[in-house]
Amino acid sequence: MKKPTLDEFLSSAETRQAYSARSYVREPGFRSLYVRRTHRMIGNHLVPTIDLASAEASNPGHGAFTKLVARLRQDYPSMAIYAENVLNPRFATTLVEKLGFHKDPRVGLCFYLPQVSQERQMKGTSE
């Protein structure tokens, strides 16, 4: 069976209706990408989330993940993004300092980027 594209997976009726769904997907710039569409506690809210559970870039260090995050923020602003089990310290630093992710205080080695609306609220309360 052919893997769906990331957009096909995220927008399918079956995936949207399920509380949690998972799949390997096809995405430009990635040799392998395993994602989940689920719900997570971000801050004090249960929000729809795109979990990036396992990612292997076709050409590591050349911006595939950065491009993916930018596209997800634009195309799916109502969903938070969750990067799971980040084992590379340099990549963890990039997530926080360059891409604006936050370390998940509940789970070590995991990082999240709130929904666009929730991120605006968080910034509004901290200024």
Residue whose C-alpha is closest to residue 49's, from 127, 107, 93, 125: 107
Indicate the pTM of the whole model: 0.87
Asked if the structure places residue 62 within a domain, the reply is yes
Number of domains in the chain: 1
One pLDDT digit (tens) per residue for the chain, 127 residues? 789 999 999 998 887 878 789 999 999 999 999 999 999 998 888 999 999 999 999 999 899 999 999 999 999 999 999 999 999 999 999 999 999 999 999 888 999 999 987 555 555 554 4
100: left (phi over 0), alpha (psi -120 to 50) or beta: left
Asked if the structure places residue 32 within a domain, the reply is yes
Q: In this structure, what CATH number is given to the domain that contains residue 40?
A: 3.40.630
Which tokens is 51 given? 């979990």
* Angle, CA 54 vertex, CA 46 and CA 80 arms, to 5°: 25
**Separation of CA 127 from chain center:** 26
67: left (phi over 0), alpha (psi -120 to 50) or beta: alpha
CB contact at 8 A, 82 and 40: yes
Q: Which domain holds residue 44?
A: 6-126
Asked if the structure places residue 107 within a domain, the reply is yes
Asked if the structure places residue 1 within a domain, the reply is no
